[in-house]
């Protein structure tokens, strides 16, 4: 499992009317589109920019290029070297983050109203014309290598790498997006330039903005900020059907507590039954102590501190996954309980009461997400990346409420496949 | 790029994750209203009417550092047990009711506090108070709860500590830092003591510390202060104060007269590093100037891309892949100021430590760059603006301060105090803390054979 972009569709709802956020679609003179929520009460704006593709765009043999390139965006542009750029950003009191994920590069910015124009200009320079100085490249390369070496000794990262290698065959999802020590050592400045041109392009961008800015101000700002980027970038990767064998795979590692990931094929975000699957997961291994896995593995038996399951909707595949960690002499029992619960759900679905509880929670929790400029900007960009309509927030709750026990039973028998539920266990598990 | 290295998560809170960047400072004064109920319970209301949500928190002025000797981990264990039954709620029902109302809930424990919270639609605030006030005094535990949940906290220790060499190392360093004060004992507890925690330990701690006169109610979100007061009087008001509540007097540190050095070896260590902490003053009520100077000192010395340590150790010399300074300003008792350096490949830990010492000495000699200080102060002012976007973090800020001996007035004075700090005060505070190595602990985290092999290559 990689860092999963949890931009889960804004699942919506009906609480007091003033909870409603008014989303405007703004198209710039240059043709760039953004979704905006105006909220002038605090004098700053939150901006979220998502470029689809992400680390999966790494060319053959260049694993880690997009990740390293993303790390270099803030390491110098124009006359500014890395420290000059940081000083310029700090003197505007703007904050910029650049992160690479399996399917996206995400840029998160906050800017004060009083320094907004200069902040936009600085961010533009970094996004459009990063220097990729050799000195900066070599320094950040060492940071990435340090992280790769650390992950090689981290049971969670080891489990993730093994799971991905097993599930995703020859697809980029199969390997660590940071790359290997060898691949990262081989990356050159030319690779950075190519990764930048291929990944930060206008044919794959979504923008969410929330805060102290009007639609009239935002249009020109979009052109100023992003207008210098190329129209098109690298082709997107292929879809991949993940493969599982239903086994329990052990990676020996000297830790007192075994760490396990488990999973099998999932369901696409676009599938008609997605909502039923989403609620099913909520009941089986979702939020809170009431989920069945948490109740059975932790609350009743004390076998773990945390167990959960989650639908992973990557852009080019879907898996249904979970995680658990238990002492080496207890992990076998935890896994047995999880397999039993998986089977029970597949066979019998959920009860009326469980469904109602989950629906009440999901519909009630939804408006609480829209609680600040930063969170709203993130939700706006996530909705666009998932191709949801702009009025989705108003209809979403009804779709959650429309799911029936029969829908879940149908999905449970199709989605859940206890024989294919595959475990990767890192540690020194006993009895497996 | 600045990697957030996982092992730097030394921040001592179990149950919450730390955020990156500068901390939130304070809500604007007109956003905050305070009361005290007749039974001594403090109430803080932080208004934010942008979304119909509320965060309801109860903070107890009791944490791991208040535990009786020999029962380490009991504060955190009790926190888990508060999700079991009361006279009126079945085990697990608390969270179930919160969820069934579209809310989420959790709790966390630190050295100086234990806190419980729910985030929910604003019109459910009364229900939250009804349940939270109930478990302040009415929990009903079974032996089975104790045994099962004790297994859970031991698995939690496995996950947080036993599986992480950096966390095991951190425990040893803190134990060496505090010769007598309980900050030297891990919040989660020493494993051998956790295994023996029982019903009496849990109820003893509960009866001693869980009372309205030892608690702070914080309500943040779409509420009006008068309505909150009325609900608080209804639900928390009837609970009698604990007349036997004592002042929080922990064992204090003797003079620290001997520098301590530790080497922690573990085959799982992939990236060796050197970390040093110094005993340092914390924010005290009415006396926050030194802590303010140290806060700015930590930022300027090692708080980011333009800081002195980053510049000299990562940019000018490439001695390190990462270098930083850190300071935890909010604590009830003496806190720590720290330095860390993660050496580049082929740089030994000794060489890295020497370079770190030289860089710190340089900084203290050459003094504060005024332009950098102005930049930082502007960022801190901006942080006040950004902080208003997240009412939960404001609630946390007040909770931490008020359980650490500070008042609402102190919290609201803090931003201005930070702005008034001078370059001379920053250097003076830095020298005071860093020039006495006897109050420090220096730790090397390494693979078993690294030290020898690295010395050979020098």
pLDDT at A22: 92
Same-domain status, A143 and A211: yes
Same-domain status, A257 and A221: no
Contacts of A37 in chain B (CB under 8 A): none
Task: State mean pLDDT over B92-120.
Answer: 95
The domain that holds A281 is classified in CATH as 3.30.830.10
Q: How far is B138 from chain A (nearest CA, A)?
A: 21
Interface of A with B in 74-113 (CB under 8 A): 74-75, 82-83, 86-87, 90-91, 93, 95, 98, 110, 112
In angstroms, what CA-CA distances link A33 with A116, A149, A194? 19, 41, 25
The SS3 assignment for B319 reads: coil
CB contact under 8 A, B306 and A87: yes
pLDDT of B242 over the 80 cut: yes
Q: How far is A267 from chain B (nearest CA, A)?
A: 25
Q: Nearest by CB to B158, which of A39, A42, A327?
A: A327
CB contact under 8 A, A327 and B6: no
Is residue A22 one of the residues assigned to a domain? Answer: yes
Q: Nearest by CB to A93, which of B147, B152, B379?
A: B379
pLDDT of B362-387, one tens digit each? Answer: 999 999 999 999 999 999 999 999 99
Q: Which chain B residue shows the shortest CA-CA distance from A360? A: B100
pLDDT at A287: 75
CB atoms within 10 A of CB B187: 24
pLDDT at A7: 27
Contacts of A295 in chain B (CB under 8 A): 92
Same-domain status, A88 and A14: yes
What is the value of ipTM here, to two decimals? Answer: 0.91
CB contact under 8 A, B99 and A357: yes
Q: How far is B341 from chain A (nearest CA, A)?
A: 13
CB contact under 8 A, B52 and A110: no
pLDDT at A303: 98
A42 touching B (Cβ < 8 Å):
yes
Q: Which chain A residue shows the shortest CA-CA distance from B273? A: A146
pLDDT at B122: 95
pLDDT at B9: 35
Same-domain status, A258 and A222: no
CB contact under 8 A, B270 and A153: yes
CB contact under 8 A, A364 and B156: no
Radius of gyration over every alpha carbon of chain A, rounded to an integer in angstroms: 23
CB proximity list for B134: less than 8 A, separation 6 or greater: B86, B87, B88, B89
pLDDT at A13: 32
C-alpha to C-alpha distance for A172 and A160, rounded to whole angstroms? 14
pLDDT at B28: 64
pLDDT at B13: 53
Structure tokens at A161: 């790498």
Interface of A with B in 239-278 (CB under 8 A): 254-257, 259
pLDDT at B5: 37
Q: Nearest by CB to A364, which of B3, B51, B121?
A: B121
Is residue A234 one of the residues assigned to a domain? Answer: no
Burial of A173 (0-12, 13-18, 19+ CB in 10 A): buried
CB contact under 8 A, B52 and A18: yes
* Lookup result for tokens 């909705």: A383
Q: How far is A19 from chain B (nearest CA, A)?
A: 5
Last-in-domain residue among A226, A258, A287: A226
A15 touching B (Cβ < 8 Å):
yes
Same-domain status, A49 and A178: yes
Strands in B307-347 per DSSP E: 320-327, 335-343
C-alpha to C-alpha distance for B268 and B168, rounded to whole angstroms? 12
Domain residue limits at A332: 248-379+389-427
Q: Nearest by CB to A368, which of B121, B154, B390?
A: B121
Is residue A371 one of the residues assigned to a domain? Answer: yes
Is residue A235 one of the residues assigned to a domain? Answer: no
Last-in-domain residue among A160, A194, A226: A226
Q: Nearest by CB to A305, which of B100, B159, B386?
A: B159
* Lookup result for tokens 């031991």: B154
Q: How far is B157 from chain A (nearest CA, A)?
A: 9
CB contact under 8 A, A367 and B378: no
pLDDT of B153 over the 70 cut: yes
pLDDT at B19: 32
CB contact under 8 A, B385 and A42: yes
Q: Which of B4, B19, B46, B50 is the best mutation test for A, with the most CBs of A within 10 A?
A: B50
Same-domain status, A182 and A256: no
Burial of B226 (0-12, 13-18, 19+ CB in 10 A): exposed
CB contact under 8 A, A299 and B304: no
Same-domain status, A166 and A258: no
Is residue A261 one of the residues assigned to a domain? Answer: yes
CB proximity list for A286: less than 8 A, separation 6 or greater: A308, A309, A310, A358
Q: How far is B220 from chain A (nearest CA, A)?
A: 12
C-alpha to C-alpha distance for B430 and B424, rounded to whole angstroms? 10
CB contact under 8 A, A298 and B152: yes
pLDDT at B189: 98
pLDDT at A3: 29
pLDDT of B226 over the 80 cut: yes
Burial of B343 (0-12, 13-18, 19+ CB in 10 A): buried
pLDDT at A290: 86
Split into its structural domains, chain A has a count of 2
Q: Give the ranges where A200-303 is alpha helix by DSSP (H).
A: 215-226, 274-285, 292-293
CB contact under 8 A, A41 and B155: no
CB contact under 8 A, A15 and B342: no
C-alpha to C-alpha distance for B119 and A286, rounded to whole angstroms? 17
pLDDT of B58-103, one tens digit each? Answer: 999 999 999 999 999 999 999 999 999 999 999 999 999 999 899 9
CB contact under 8 A, A257 and B163: yes
Is residue A105 one of the residues assigned to a domain? Answer: yes
Contacts of B379 in chain A (CB under 8 A): 90, 93
CB proximity list for A369: less than 8 A, separation 6 or greater: A10, A375, A379
Q: Give the ranges where A303-391 is alpha helix by DSSP (H).
A: 331-348, 352-365, 373-385
pLDDT of B7-46, one tens digit each? Answer: 333 334 554 322 334 555 566 667 899 999 999 999 999 9
pLDDT at B173: 98
The enclosing H or E element of A109 equals strand A104-112
CB contact under 8 A, A19 and B52: yes
CB proximity list for B1: less than 8 A, separation 6 or greater: A70, A71, A72, A74, A75, A98, A140, A143
Smallest CA-to-CA distance from A160 within A319, A8, A32 is with A319
Q: Which chain B residue shows the shortest CA-CA distance from A39? A: B50
Question: Of B108-122, B170-184, B330-344, B443-457, which range is least confident?
Answer: B443-457
CB pairs under 8 A between A and B: 195
Same-domain status, A43 and A181: yes
pLDDT of B458 over the 50 cut: no
C-alpha to C-alpha distance for B325 and B434, rounded to whole angstroms? 11
Q: How far is A128 from chain B (nearest CA, A)?
A: 17
C-alpha to C-alpha distance for A321 and A420, rounded to whole angstroms? 12
Question: Would you say B111 and B65 are in contact if contact means Cβ atoms under 8 Å apart?
Answer: yes
CB contact under 8 A, A146 and B311: no
Is residue A156 one of the residues assigned to a domain? Answer: yes
Same-domain status, A8 and A48: yes
Q: How far is A342 from chain B (nearest CA, A)?
A: 22
pLDDT at B16: 30
Same-domain status, A293 and A168: no
Q: Nearest by CB to B268, which of A90, A153, A360?
A: A153
Q: Nearest by CB to B158, which of A86, A87, A257?
A: A257
pLDDT at B8: 38
Smallest CA-to-CA distance from A387 within A269, A215, A279 is with A269
Report, as residue numbers or ranges, the catalytic residues of B: 79
Same-domain status, A191 and A307: no
Q: Nearest by CB to A305, which of B155, B315, B382?
A: B155
Last-in-domain residue among A226, A256, A285: A226
The average confidence (pLDDT) of chain B is: 92
CB proximity list for B114: less than 8 A, separation 6 or greater: B59, B60, B62, B63, B75, B76, B78, B79, B107, B108
Contacts of B47 in chain A (CB under 8 A): none
Q: Which of B30, B145, B153, B155 is the best mutation test for A, with the most CBs of A within 10 A?
A: B155
Same-domain status, A18 and A82: yes
Per-residue pLDDT of chain A (432 residues; tens, 9 = 90+): 232 322 222 333 333 333 468 999 999 999 999 999 999 999 999 999 999 999 999 999 999 999 999 999 999 999 999 999 999 999 999 999 999 999 999 999 999 999 999 999 999 999 999 999 999 999 999 999 999 999 999 999 999 999 999 999 999 999 999 999 999 999 999 999 999 999 999 999 999 999 999 999 999 999 999 999 999 999 999 999 999 999 999 999 999 999 999 999 999 999 999 999 999 999 999 977 889 999 999 999 999 999 999 999 999 999 999 999 999 999 999 999 999 999 999 999 999 999 999 999 999 999 888 989 999 999 999 999 999 999 999 889 999 999 999 999 999 999 999 999 999 999 999 999
Is residue A231 one of the residues assigned to a domain? Answer: no
Question: Would you say A56 and A317 are in contact if contact means Cβ atoms under 8 Å apart?
Answer: no
A299 touching B (Cβ < 8 Å):
yes
C-alpha to C-alpha distance for A99 and A105, rounded to whole angstroms? 6
What is the per-residue burial (b if ≥16 Cβ within 10 Å, else e) of B282-316? Answer: bbeeeebbbbbbbbbbbbbbbbbbbbbbbbbbbbe
């Amino acid at each position: 499992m990689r860092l999963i972009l949890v931009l889960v569709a804004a699942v919506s709802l009906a609480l007091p009317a003033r909870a409603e956020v008014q989303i405007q679609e703004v198209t710039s003179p240059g043709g760039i589109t953004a979704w905006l929520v105006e909220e002038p009460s605090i004098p700053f704006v939150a901006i979220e920019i998502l470029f689809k593709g992400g680390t999966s765009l790494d060319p053959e043999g260049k694993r880690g290029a997009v990740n390293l390139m993303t790390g270099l965006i803030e390491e110098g542009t124009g006359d500014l070297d890395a420290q000059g750029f940081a000083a310029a950003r700090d003197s505007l009191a703007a904050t910029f983050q650049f992160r690479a994920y399996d399917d996206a590069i995400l840029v998160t910015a906050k800017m004060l109203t009083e320094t907004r124009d200069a902040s936009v200009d600085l961010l533009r320079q970094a996004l459009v014309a990063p220097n990729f100085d050799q000195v900066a490249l070599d320094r950040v390369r060492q940071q990435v290598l340090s992280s790769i070496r650390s992950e090689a000794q981290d049971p969670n990262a080891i489990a993730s790498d093994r799971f991905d290698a097993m599930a995703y065959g020859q697809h980029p999802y199969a390997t660590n997006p940071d790359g290997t020590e060898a691949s990262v050592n081989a990356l050159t400045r030319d690779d950075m330039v190519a990764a930048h041109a291929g990944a930060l392009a206008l044919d794959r961008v979504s923008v969410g903005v929330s805060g102290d800015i009007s639609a009239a101000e935002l249009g020109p700002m979009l052109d100023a900020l992003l207008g210098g980027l190329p129209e098109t970038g690298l082709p997107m990767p292929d879809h991949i059907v993940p493969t599982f064998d239903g086994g329990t795979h052990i990676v020996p590692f000297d830790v007192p507590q075994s760490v396990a990931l488990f999973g099998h094929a999932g369901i696409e975000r676009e599938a008609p039954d997605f909502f039923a699957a989403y609620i099913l997961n909520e009941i089986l291994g979702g939020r809170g102590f009431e989920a069945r896995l948490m109740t059975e593995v932790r609350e009743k038996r004390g076998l773990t501190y945390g167990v959960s399951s989650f639908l992973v909707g990557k852009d080019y595949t879907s898996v249904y996954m979970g995680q658990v960690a238990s002492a080496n002499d207890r992990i076998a029992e935890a896994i047995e309980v999880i397999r039993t619960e998986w089977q029970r759900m597949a066979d019998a679905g959920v009860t009326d009461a469980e469904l109602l509880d989950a629906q009440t929670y999901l519909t009630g929790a939804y408006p609480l997400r829209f609680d600040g400029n930063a969170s709203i900007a993130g939700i706006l960009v996530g909705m666009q990346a998932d191709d949801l309509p702009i009025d989705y927030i108003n209809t979403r709750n009804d779709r959650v409420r429309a799911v029936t026990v029969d829908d879940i039973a149908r999905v449970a028998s199709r989605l859940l496949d206890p024989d294919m539920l595959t475990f990767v266990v890192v540690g020194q598990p006993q009895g497996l | 790029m600045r990697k957030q290295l996982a092992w730097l998560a030394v921040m001592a809170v179990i149950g919450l994750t730390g955020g990156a960047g500068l901390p939130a400072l304070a809500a604007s004064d007109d956003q905050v209203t305070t009361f005290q109920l007749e039974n001594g319970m403090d109430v803080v209301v932080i208004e934010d009417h942008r979304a119909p949500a509320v965060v309801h928190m109860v903070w107890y002025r009791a944490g791991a550092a208040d535990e009786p000797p020999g029962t380490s981990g009991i504060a955190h264990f009790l926190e888990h047990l508060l999700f079991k039954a009361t006279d009126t709620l079945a085990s697990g029902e608390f969270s179930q009711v919160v969820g069934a109302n579209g809310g989420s809930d959790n709790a966390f424990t630190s050295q100086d506090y234990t806190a419980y919270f729910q985030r929910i639609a604003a019109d459910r605030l009364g229900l939250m108070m009804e349940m939270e006030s109930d478990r302040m005094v009415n929990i009903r535990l079974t032996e089975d709860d104790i045994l099962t949940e004790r297994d859970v906290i031991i698995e939690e220790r496995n996950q947080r500590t036993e599986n992480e060499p950096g966390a095991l190392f951190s425990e040893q360093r803190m134990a060496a830092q505090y010769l007598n004060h309980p900050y030297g004992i891990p919040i989660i507890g020493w494993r051998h003591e956790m295994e023996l925690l029982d019903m009496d330990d849990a109820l003893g701690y509960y009866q001693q510390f869980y009372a309205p006169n030892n608690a702070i109610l914080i309500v943040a979100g779409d509420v009006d202060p008068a309505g909150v007061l009325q609900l608080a009087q209804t639900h928390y008001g009837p609970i009698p104060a604990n007349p036997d509540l004592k002042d929080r007097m922990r064992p204090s540190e003797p003079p620290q007269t001997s520098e301590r050095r530790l080497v922690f070896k573990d085959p799982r260590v992939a990236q060796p590093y050197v970390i040093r902490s110094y005993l340092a003053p914390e924010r005290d009520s009415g006396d926050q100037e030194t802590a303010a100077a140290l806060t700015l000192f930590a930022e300027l010395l090692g708080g980011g891309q333009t800081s002195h340590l980053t510049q000299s150790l990562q940019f000018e010399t490439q001695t390190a892949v990462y270098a930083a300074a850190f300071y935890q300003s909010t604590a009830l008792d003496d806190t720590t100021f720290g330095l860390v350096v993660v050496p580049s490949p082929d740089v030994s830990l000794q060489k890295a430590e020497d370079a770190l010492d030289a860089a710190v000495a340089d900084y203290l000699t050459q003094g504060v760059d005024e332009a950098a200080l102005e930049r930082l102060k502007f960022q801190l002012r901006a942080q006040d603006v950004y902080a208003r976007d997240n009412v939960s973090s404001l609630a946390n800020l007040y909770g931490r301060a008020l359980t650490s001996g500070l008042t609402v007035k102190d919290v609201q004075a803090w931003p201005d105090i930070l702005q008034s700090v001078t370059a001379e005060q920053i250097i003076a505070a830095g020298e005071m803390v860093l020039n006495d190595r006897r109050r420090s602990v220096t730790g090397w985290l390494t693979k078993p054979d690294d030290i020898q092999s690295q010395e050979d290559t020098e």
